[in-house]
Amino acid sequence: MTTLNLDDFSDLIERPDGGVRRDAEDRRERLAVPPGALGRLDDLAEWLAAAQGQVPVKPIERPRVVLFAADHGIAAQGVSARAAGSAHELVRSVLEGTSPVSILAGRLGAGVRVVDAGLDCDPGLLPEDVTRHRVRRGSGRIDVEDALTAQEAEAALRLGIRIADEEADSGTDLVVLGDLSVGGTTVAAVLVAALCGTDASVVTGRGGVPIDDLAWMRKCAAVRDSLRRARPVLGDQMALLAAVGGADVAAITGFLLQCAVRRTPVILDGVVSAACGLVAQRAAFRAPDWWLAGQTSGEPGQAKALDRMALNPVLDHGVTVGEGTGALLALPLVQAAAALAAELPERAAVEQPTD
């Protein structure tokens, strides 16, 4: 296997078409509805037009929720409200259609795909099409050991790239990205703190299912100790993902980079996808132009990461459940923005001629 060099993505990724965006802005000025009257919807439509490379923008016809699943060894330190090694229960809920994200996806016409990158369970507990991608079972306890070997980190990155290619090739025109993990917000906090140069307490939140004060202190200590292991490898994104990431985190990073290569727009969910975005931004500074921050999750690490990437969340509804749910709630707004930009008549078509 040829060694993967993330720096190569910098040459492969271009920004969305600026000329098309200007054309979209010009067309907006000519619409019957006054400029500014649609608020953020105008900006969403122009972002999407630039990503699609055409004006007027096309409707979103094949949205897809993609969820990467894994267990993180750091969860054994009592940093999560969920039991260590229980992420497969989250996956089962999604597959059975009883989770918030699967219920909403069904209503919004979005397909859902779950990718087992590193669950800590018997593969027989889940369908083969979910578990066949697994890189390893669980990940190392990042405060005292590497999450992955170098080979596993590369395999996980390649997994994300492959999934992005499969989605692009199948006609997916917008991805809603999320994770199904236990311990994932702790790993994300480490990555954000390392890449933004902050202390553990600044980026450590209470997780999707809020933890109590004692668990939060344990989480801060875990982030602090993991940061000591992260800082020496900050200059090497692959080594960073191996040291303090995880199979899902590395896969999401590869997925985000390849989506940008394939010109597939992505809506990010919470702190995990935001942290992966930071790693991807280090490799290719243009990549965040292809992403939209779906919502504010309340995690301080997410806010720090989105600020670094200059991404302004679409929604702030206090949704902390994770699993891509908050990002999915932004999908109707993007769809509405595309529909209005494409179908509203221009002023010349509605104004009556004067004598």
Say if residue 97 is in the same domain as residue 50: no
Of the chain, the percentage scoring pLDDT greater than 90 comes to 83
Decide if pLDDT at 354 tops 70.
no
Decide if pLDDT at 355 tops 90.
no
pLDDT band at 133 (very low <50, low <70, confident <90, very high): very high
- Note the pLDDT of residue 348: 58
For 250-287, how does the pLDDT look when each residue is reduced to its tens digit (9 = 90+)? 999 999 999 999 999 999 999 999 999 999 999 999 99
Say if residue 54 is in the same domain as residue 75: no
Specify the residue for token string 């809920």. 93
pLDDT band at 219 (very low <50, low <70, confident <90, very high): very high
Work out the average pLDDT over 6-26: 93
Q: Is 299 a catalytic residue?
A: no
Say if residue 207 is in the same domain as residue 289: yes
For 293-327, how does the pLDDT look when each residue is reduced to its tens digit (9 = 90+)? 999 988 899 999 999 999 999 988 777 777 788 89
In a domain, 355, yes or no: no
- Dihedral pair phi/psi, residue 50, rounded to 5°: -65, -40
The catalytic residue among 46, 152, 154, 323 is 323
Say if residue 23 is in the same domain as residue 76: no
In a domain, 122, yes or no: yes
Say if residue 131 is in the same domain as residue 29: no
Say if residue 50 is in the same domain as residue 71: no
The DSSP code sequence of 339-352 is HHHHHSPBHHHHSP
Decide if pLDDT at 8 tops 50.
yes
For 151-163, how does the pLDDT look when each residue is reduced to its tens digit (9 = 90+)? 999 999 999 999 9
Residue 15 lies in domain: 10-58+340-350
Q: CA-to-CA distance for 339 and 35, rounded, in angstroms?
A: 16
Say if residue 113 is in the same domain as residue 151: yes
For 137-192, how does the pLDDT look when each residue is reduced to its tens digit (9 = 90+)? 999 999 999 999 999 999 999 999 999 999 999 999 999 999 999 999 999 999 99
Q: Output the domain CATH number for residue 285.
A: 3.40.50.10210
Say if residue 116 is in the same domain as residue 54: no
- Note the pLDDT of residue 1: 45
- Note the pLDDT of residue 2: 55
Say if residue 121 is in the same domain as residue 19: no
In a domain, 201, yes or no: yes
Sheet containing 266-268: which strands, arranged edge to edge? 111-118, 63-71, 174-182, 266-268, 291-293
Say if residue 40 is in the same domain as residue 116: no
- Note the pLDDT of residue 215: 92
Closest CA to 187 of 150, 225, 135, 223: 223
Say if residue 313 is in the same domain as residue 164: yes
Predicted structure pTM score = 0.94
In a domain, 121, yes or no: yes
In a domain, 2, yes or no: no
Q: Output the domain CATH number for residue 29.
A: 1.10.1610.10
Number of domains in the chain: 2
Say if residue 172 is in the same domain as residue 78: yes
In a domain, 1, yes or no: no
